[in-house]
Amino acid sequence: ETGVTQTPRHLVMGMTNKKSLKCEQHLGHNAMYWYKQSAKKPLELMFVYNFKEQTENNSVPSRFSPECPNSSHLFLHLHTLQPEDSALYLCASSQNPRSDYNSPLHFGNGTRLTVT
């Protein structure tokens, strides 16, 4: 049990589909993150939310749309994706990155996304 739960674990979608990834953290953290993990590449930070406010968008294409209704929940809405978007999408949480600079990230198990 990681304290960070991601659903679904696996997702296969066509390029014209619309789907959403969900993340929930039970750790009382203030910040939540979306990362993309592709083979042979460093983890790529996509979005950061701190106290529900988006603080970073790392030049992510608009076909990825995040939503953070509260500090415990984070969504990633997907539409008109490309095959190269196939990857493992990881959610993470941490204490307030603005005041707790030493806070490590706590990761979920990820959603394995395949775009056909």
Partner 1 sequence: AQSVSQHNHHVILSEAASLELGCNYSYGGTVNLFWYVQYPGQHLQLLLKYFSGDPLVKGIKGFEAEFIKSKFSFNLRKPSVQWSDTAEYFCAVTIITGGYQKVTFGTGTKLQVIP
Rank residues 3 and 79 by Cβ distance to partner 1 and give the closer one. 3
Q: List residues bridging with 45 in a β-sheet.
A: 35
For residues 22 and 9, is the Cβ–Cβ distance under 8 A? no
Min separation Cβ 12 and partner 1, Å:
19
Min separation Cβ 45 and partner 1, Å:
7
For residues 110 and 80, is the Cβ–Cβ distance under 8 A? no
Q: Measured between alpha carbons, how far is 47 from 114 in angstroms, rounded to an integer?
A: 20
Rank residues 79 and 105 by Cβ distance to partner 1 and give the closer one. 105
Min separation Cβ 16 and partner 1, Å:
31
Rank residues 42 and 69 by Cβ distance to partner 1 and give the closer one. 42
Binding site for partner 1 (CB under 8 A): 2, 4, 40-43, 45, 48, 50, 55-56, 90, 92, 97-98, 101-110
Rank residues 55 and 116 by Cβ distance to partner 1 and give the closer one. 55
Per-residue buried b or exposed e for 48-78, using 16+ beta carbons within 10 Å of the residue's own CB: bbbeeeeeeeeebeeebebebeebbebbbeb
